[in-house]
Amino acid sequence: MTVLIYLIPIALFLGGLGLAAFIWSLKSGQYEDLEGAANRILFDDEDK
Amino acid sequence: MGEVVQSAEITMANAHRDVGGNCCSGGAVAFAYSNTPAADFQNFLSADPTAFVSQDEDGNALLHMLVENMHCANCIRTIEKTLTSNPAVFEARVNFSTRRLLVRWDEVKSDAADLVKPIIDLGYALTPFDPSLMKTATEEADRRLLKAMGVAGFAAANVMLLSVSVWAGLFSNDMGPSTRDFLHWISALIAMPAVAYSGQVFFKSALGALKAGRLNMDVPISLAVILAVGISLSETIQSGEHAYFDAAVTLLFFLLIGRYLDNRARTKARSAAERLLLLKAVAATIIEPDGSHKSVPVDTVTVGTIVHVAVGDRFPVDGQIQKGFTTVDNSLVTGESLPIDAAVETSVFAGTLNLSSPVQVRATKTGDNTLLGDIVRLMENAEQGRAKYVRIADRIAEYYAPVVHILAALTFGGWWVAGFEWQVSLLQAVAVLIVTCPCALGLAVPVVQVVASGRLLLRGILVKAADGLERLAQIDTVVFDKTGTLTEGRLDLVNRADIPEKSLNLAASIAKESRHPLAQAVARRGSNTFDLADVQEHPGRGLSTMLDGKRVRLGSRIWCEVRDDANGSDNLPELWLDVDGEKPVQFLFEDCLRPEVAETISSLRKLGIEIELLSGDRGAVVQMIASDAGISQWRASVTPEDKVRRLEELKEAGKKVLMVGDGLNDAPALATAHVSMSPSTASDVSQTAADFIFQGRSLLAVLEAVRVARMSHRLVVQNFSLAFAYNAIAVPLAVFGFVTPLFAAIAMSSSSLIVCANSMRLNAVQREEKS
């Protein structure tokens, strides 16, 4: 069972990574204009 | 000829017009909706944009604006590209969901008005606003829910991982108590902060309900979660066998999903009256007794003041024309598609549009007393009335919550009386709370709603109000507006075949200089138009120009001096094209019915729904349309107040009414009705007031929406029945102590899955119907 000592922290760390990524994306406003994002995918030019 | 207006301004704006390609390339559609860019720009200036400019930390200027007339991806790109092509601009970003625009630029190089003028010229009217005032509570709630959901999801996944290990150990019997306790402790460390954070949504709402002396669904949820975590913690400390951490966090996670979906649906409906106020003219030009002009804020205009109204401006007050002769677009107030001629003594209303010539108006009503003010008030009242509607889930919670609490209390009492320790008794009571906990109930409505909304979206129907589907399922009467709802809402040339190509192109070239709806209908049909140097507009009569030394006129029968006996066909609106020395050509127009109107009406009747038509238009026209559509109940010349009154009459008679309308004059009626629907071509305000918006020309969308709503209602009822059936089995087991954490987890997930699967049937049922 000693393997748990590694596995549980790893699992928690990976989960935490996902959570951190989610909160980052929320904070950087990526959920603010979902309709707009759906439309922007239609632009084919690369400029900013 | 004193009233002749040069339409140079309008021609300039027209030059930007670029039709073709996408749904609306380069603002063409926006332009068609816009009143006049010149007036929009004046509105923008009079809103004092510089007062709204703020600075970011690098000293760059920031301005937030509301954008009107945005429709598609092209609109986003056109606006952003037009702005960023200006070297002074660092950043321009459109938020399509909230219709907002943020510009960051160097204030030294350009001022706000110059910056945005090109955008307004494209037909996108802008209004500056202060973001700190506009940040609504719902938006904040949305973010908080999303964060809570993320945290609960993380905790649920990890605690479940640990719980599964514990369960596996229970079965194979090779997990020692110390390992189990270790896993329980880690679960506790994850679950407790997660519950403390994510659970707040429910705790707060539960507290609020308790303080108000009510019970809502959140009370049993909060109680179950808190007790489950508390009991599990004490079990863990005493190295007990059962811990319910996984149940507590998964419960929160599932419920937060349901809550988030629900909230999203709700944010989409914004206050309609707020947008309506944007239509009010912001500044008015008054004429002082000495004859000088002065621009003042519209609130300060008093009754009796003479106000000057330029072409393309909205009238700032209700009043009577004092001097001048013009054409007025009254559609805002009456819904009538044809503009009316307004001479001296004619009454005009605030918010309506002066189309063809500058006039002076003596104010009779100002500010909130105007007809527009009345419409705003009617709508605010109606919106408040509707807020009283209690949703099915809340109605069920009212009965459900007390029953759950009584059951749990009885369980605790029963076990205690039977001689068990109070800790054991409490554990059983918590098991009851967890098992009955309305996971499936919490998902029953939102999942159906999401599936139904998705289904309707595919057919071009947008569900705006969170409880719209629920209300739509109850209707037994549909009230239609005429112009723009049963009909397409714009006049189209109907005798195209009788008109020679050359005449049509000539007429279109002249007509494109005018904003009169008939002229615009001609201009739309011209394929090969050319620019004419000197087109003059004669209000109430027509247009004239010179071509190859000949006088060319386009306008009314009298203007073109057509003899009265010449082809005097029907009652339809008409225009004549007269070139000196040639035979005059007649153009006939009609506001055509939408496709499949009669089918929709008869199908609705088959569903047991009564149909009524209310229109602000003249009796003869309404009667014709009603008979074409197959509607026997109709009323003509109805004012917005009359519409509201009629809807209230129906309400008192116990009818649940669906109102379908598009004009601003329908907006109060839309807000009054039990549930409402607007075409996507409707005025912004009506769209905001309506619960549903349908795209496309066909009226079948109304039928489709009613069908899907009724089907959703059936599914919601089924879901609730399923959830109750599950409770009927699970609760006795819990009361008698057969429920372990593993059993609770399985029962909870399976009941949620069954409810979701049942909701998905909405898709299947519809496919069968089609084939």
In the predicted structure, residue B195 carries a pLDDT above the cut 90: yes
Mean pLDDT within B148-169: 89
Asked if the C-beta of B73 comes within 8 angstroms of chain A's C-beta atoms, the answer is: yes
pLDDT above 70 for B362: yes
Mean pLDDT of chain B: 79
Q: Tell me: ipTM over 0.90.
A: no
pLDDT, mean of residues B374-398 = 69
Question: For residue B155, which amino acid is it?
Answer: A
The amino acid at A30 = Q
Query: What pLDDT sits at residue B15?
Result: 35
- The residue type found at B459 is R
**Which residues fall within 8 angstroms of residue B93, CB to CB, at 6 or more apart?**
B80, B101, B102
Yes or no, beta carbons of A43 and B96 under 8 Å apart: no
> What distance in Å separates the CA atoms of residue B754 and residue B439, rounded to the nearest whole number?
11
A7 at B interface, C-beta within 8 A: no
User: Which residues are registered as beta bridge partners of B675?
Assistant: B658
Residue B137: what pLDDT?
59
Q: pLDDT tens digit string along B499-545?
A: 888 888 888 888 877 777 788 788 877 777 777 777 887 777 788 88
Provide the pLDDT for residue B413: 92
The model's confidence at residue B6, banded by pLDDT at 50, 70 and 90, is very low
How many whole angstroms separate alpha carbon B568 and alpha carbon B122?
Answer: 40
How would residue B185 be classed by pLDDT, with cut points 50, 70 and 90? very high
What is the model's pLDDT at position B19? 34
Look at B41-45, B354-358, B410-414, B454-458 and tell me which has the smallest mean pLDDT.
B41-45
- Once rounded to an integer, what is the mean pLDDT over residues B106-134? 77
pLDDT of residue B266: 59
pLDDT at site B658: 92
Q: Which of B311-320, B569-578, B730-739 has the lowest mean pLDDT?
A: B569-578
Among B36-45, B78-87, B421-430, B690-699, which stretch is predicted with the lowest mean pLDDT?
A: B36-45
> Chain A partners of B84 at a C-beta cutoff of 8 Å?
48
Element (H, E) at B713: helix B700-735
Q: Give chain A's end-to-end CA distance (angstroms, integer).
A: 53
- Test B143 with A35 for CB contact under 8 angstroms: no
Identify the sign of the CA torsion B559, B565, B570, B571.
Answer: positive
Chain A residues inside the 8 Å CB shell of B95? 32-33, 36
DSSP annotation of B305? -
Contact A19 B151 (CB under 8 A): yes
Contacts of B645-654 spanning 24+ positions with Cβ under 8 A: B646/B479, B646/B614, B647/B479, B647/B672, B647/B673, B648/B672, B650/B477, B650/B479
User: Which pLDDT belongs to residue B194?
Assistant: 93
Q: How far apart are CA B329 and CA B354, in angstroms?
A: 7
Judge whether B157 is closer than 8 Å to chain A, CB to CB: yes
Whether B158 and A12 lie within 8 Å, measured CB to CB: yes
8 A C-beta contact, residue B351 and residue B315: yes
pLDDT tens digit sequence for B446-500: 888 878 877 887 777 877 776 788 889 999 999 998 877 888 777 778 787 788 8
Give the C-alpha separation, B709 to B675, whole Å.
12
More confident residue, B364 or B557: B364
Q: Where are the alpha helices (DSSP H) in B15-90?
A: 28-33, 37-46, 73-84
Please state which of the ranges B174-178, B389-393, B746-750 shows the lowest mean pLDDT: B389-393
Shortest Cα–Cα distance, B96 to chain A (Å): 5
CA–CA gap between residue B448 and residue B33 (Å, rounded)? 35
User: Which residues of chain A neighbour B177 with C-beta distances below 8 Å?
Assistant: none
Q: For residue B298, give every residue at least 6 positions away whose Cβ sits within 8 Å of its Cβ, in sequence order, or none.
A: B280, B281, B282, B283, B284, B316, B317, B366, B367
Asked if the Cβ–Cβ distance from B76 to A35 is below 8 Å, we say no
Angle formed at CA B720 by CA B714 and CA B726, multiple of 5 degrees: 135
**Phi, psi for B694 (deg, rounded to 5):** -115, 140
Residues B57-77: tens digit of each pLDDT: 788 888 888 787 777 778 888
Active site residues of B: 481
Residue in B96, B154, B179 closest to A18 by CB: B154
Tokens of B594: 């939408």
In this structure, the dihedral spanned by the alpha carbons of residues B17, B698, B687 and B20, taken in order and rounded to 10 degrees, is -10
User: What is the SS3 assignment for B178?
Assistant: helix
| B603, pLDDT greater than 80 | yes
